[in-house]
Amino acid sequence: MRVPALTVSGHDRYNPEIRDRIVAKLHTPVDEATYQLVTPSRLRALAEIEAGNWPVVSLYLQLSPDRRVGGGWRTYLASLSDSVLKPIAEHRRRELLQEEFDRIETALDNELPALGRGAAFFTCRKLGVWRQIAVSVPLPDSVHVLPRPYLRPLVRTRDEHDRFVLGVLSEEMSRFFISQIGQVEEVFLVKGQGVRETLRDHGPKDRPHVMATEPLKNEARILAHAADLVLQQFEGRYLLFSGAAELRTAVIDFLPKAVQQHLGVEFSVEVHLPPAAVAAAAEPGQRAIEEREELVTVQRLLDAGPTRSAWGVQPTLDALRVGRVMTLIAEDSFARPGARCGNCGALLEPPVQRCPVCESEAVEAVEDVVELAIEHALEERSALEIVRSAAARQLMTTKIGPMAAVFRW
C-alpha cells in the first residue's frame, strides 16, 4: 500500500502552504483494494450507500489462527455463499451474486488482513461499491444481501476510547498510523530530507544550543501540526508517540494546547519496523488508557445512580427511544434476543406481543436487541463505551448489569 508522504528539509517552516499540502495528502483517496480500519467517517460513508434495485453483499468472516492456516477460511466462505445462492431460482441474479462472492474470494486469496480477528466486505459491482475492512474483534460469520450495507455487527467494533493516532518519530522519517487496539493502518509519512546533514554541517560552533537546533525545531513544528491534522481527519481520541526523547519532547511542545490534552503514554518501536510491530508496541499503553477510561465511565454511572442514569436493558432501551442517552455502555460480549415495534420503532425485551409504547401488535422478534441499540445510539450521535477491560466488566457485572446509559438531561 502506498502511503501519502510529504518531504521536508531542515529549512522548511510550517506555513499555510505546508498545511494545505498535508491536508491534501490526508484526503488522497484510499486504495480500496487494501484492508482498512473502521473510522467514524468511513462508517458514515457506508451508511449513506443506497443501492436501490442492485443488491449489496455484506459479508463478515472470522479469521482465527486455525482458519488462516492452509486456507481454512475457504470452507466457511463457501458455506456462507451457498446459503445465499442455492435458494435463488433466477439465473441472472444468482450469476451476479456469484460474481460478488468470487471477488471476495479473490481478495482473500491475494491477502488476508495481517492484523485483527476477521474481515468484513461490502460489495456491489453495478454501483462500483467495494470495501474491505479489517475487524478488530471477532464477529459471527454472516452474509446479508440488501439494498444497503448491513452495518449492525460492524458498529459494535466502535468505541469512544479505542480511537488512537500513533506517531513513530525520527529525524529522517516519521510515520503516522490510525489504530484500534491490536490493529494499525499507516495513513501519512513525513520524510526529513537532509535534516541530519543540516544539523551537522550548518550549526554555528559558538552557539550550539540556539541556531544549531533550528532545523530540528522546524521539523518538530511540522510534525506536531501533522499529528494534529491526522487526529482531526480520522477523529482520533488519543495521540501516542514513539521516538527519541529530544524530538518527541520538541513535537509535544509545538502541539496546540487542546491537542496536548489527548496525549497518551509514550511507547517504543523502531521507525522502520512493519505495522504489526507498531501495533504490538503500542498495545499495552492503549489497553491502560482503555481500562482507565472505562472505569471512569462506570464510576459516573455509579455516582449518578439508577434514577439519574439507566441501569439494565429495558431502562436503557427506553432512554434511547426518547433521545436521552449521552453515552451508551455495554459489555463487549453481551447479546440478547429482543423485539422491535414495527409501528413506533421501540426496542423491547421479550416476551412481548403488544408494544407497551403505542399498543401496536406489529412487534417483530430480533436476534440481538443490543446491536440495534448500538446502531440507534450512533444514529443519535451518542457516545459509545464497549466495556472490554476485566476491571470495568467486573464492576459492571456486580453493580449495574451488562448494559446501561448516561443521560443527556
User: How does pLDDT run across 288-317, given as a tens digit for each residue?
Assistant: 999 999 999 999 999 999 989 999 999 999
52 and 25 belong to one structural domain:
no
Q: Max alpha carbon distance in the chain (Å)?
A: 87
Mean pLDDT of 73-84: 97
Asked whether the predicted pLDDT for residue 368 surpasses 60, the reply is yes
Which CATH number is 364's domain given?
Answer: 3.30.1330.30
344 and 389 belong to one structural domain:
yes
The answer to whether residue 283 sits within a structural domain is no
Question: Residue 92 burial (CB < 10 Å; 0-12/13-18/19+)?
Answer: exposed
139 and 183 belong to one structural domain:
no
Q: Which residues of 223-255 are buried (b: 16+ CB within 10 A; e: fewer)?
A: bbbbbbbbbebbebbbbbbbbeeebbebbbebb
Mean pLDDT of 58-76: 95
H or E segment at 36? Answer: none
pLDDT digits (tens, 9 = 90+) for 340-356: 999 999 999 988 889 99
165 and 102 belong to one structural domain:
no
* Residue with more model confidence, 398 or 213: 398
Question: Quick one: which of 268, 259, 327, 320 has its CA closest to 293?
Answer: 327
Domain span including residue 227: 5-29+160-273
Helices (DSSP H) in 27-169: which residue ranges?
A: 40-47, 65-68, 73-85, 91-110, 152-155
DSSP bridge pairs for 363? 341
Mean pLDDT of 18-42: 90
In this prediction, residue 194 carries a pLDDT of 62
Are 238 and 167 contacting, i.e. CB atoms less than 8 angstroms apart? no
Mean pLDDT of 66-81: 95
In this prediction, residue 171 carries a pLDDT of 87
Mean pLDDT of 56-69: 95
The answer to whether residue 220 sits within a structural domain is yes
308 and 227 belong to one structural domain:
no
- Please state whether beta strands 5-9 and 183-193 pair in parallel, antiparallel, or not at all (unpaired): parallel
168 and 20 belong to one structural domain:
yes
Distance CA 344, CA 340 (A): 9
Asked whether the predicted pLDDT for residue 220 surpasses 60, the reply is yes
The answer to whether residue 388 sits within a structural domain is yes
Look up residue 225 and give its three cell numbers.
501540526
The answer to whether residue 287 sits within a structural domain is no
In this prediction, residue 198 carries a pLDDT of 52
245 and 164 belong to one structural domain:
yes
Look up residue 123 and give its three cell numbers.
460489495
Look up residue 144 and give its three cell numbers.
446479508
Mean pLDDT of 193-219: 59
The answer to whether residue 13 sits within a structural domain is yes
Question: Quick one: which of 124, 84, 128 has its CA closest to 104?
Answer: 124
State which of 273, 305, 330 marks the end of a domain: 273
399 and 300 belong to one structural domain:
yes
pLDDT digits (tens, 9 = 90+) for 313-344: 999 999 999 999 999 999 988 999 999 999 99
22 and 105 belong to one structural domain:
no
358 and 214 belong to one structural domain:
no
* Residue with more model confidence, 208 or 360: 360
Asked whether the predicted pLDDT for residue 405 surpasses 50, the reply is yes
Are 136 and 114 contacting, i.e. CB atoms less than 8 angstroms apart? no
Mean pLDDT of 98-125: 94
164 and 147 belong to one structural domain:
no
Which CATH number is 115's domain given?
Answer: 3.30.960.10
Asked whether the predicted pLDDT for residue 179 surpasses 60, the reply is yes
pLDDT digits (tens, 9 = 90+) for 130-169: 999 999 888 899 999 999 999 988 888 888 788 999 999 9
What one-character DSSP code corresponds to residue 2? P
Are 33 and 107 contacting, i.e. CB atoms less than 8 angstroms apart? yes
The answer to whether residue 286 sits within a structural domain is no
Classify residue 290 as left (phi > 0), alpha (psi -120 to 50) or beta.
alpha
Asked whether the predicted pLDDT for residue 206 surpasses 90, the reply is no
What is this structure's pTM?
Answer: 0.88
Indicate the number of domains in the chain.
Answer: 3
State which of 244, 273, 302 marks the end of a domain: 273
State which of 151, 177, 212 marks the end of a domain: 151
Asked whether the predicted pLDDT for residue 208 surpasses 50, the reply is no
Which CATH number is 14's domain given?
Answer: 3.30.420.60
Asked whether the predicted pLDDT for residue 224 surpasses 50, the reply is yes
108 and 67 belong to one structural domain:
yes
The answer to whether residue 278 sits within a structural domain is no
In this prediction, residue 355 carries a pLDDT of 96
- Please state whether beta strands 56-62 and 5-9 pair in parallel, antiparallel, or not at all (unpaired): unpaired
Cα 333 to Cα 53, 245, 306, 393, distances in angstroms: 35, 40, 23, 10
Mean pLDDT of 220-230: 96
What values do phi and psi take at 57, rounded to 5?
-90, 125
How many residues can be counted in the chain? 409
In this prediction, residue 333 carries a pLDDT of 85
The answer to whether residue 199 sits within a structural domain is yes
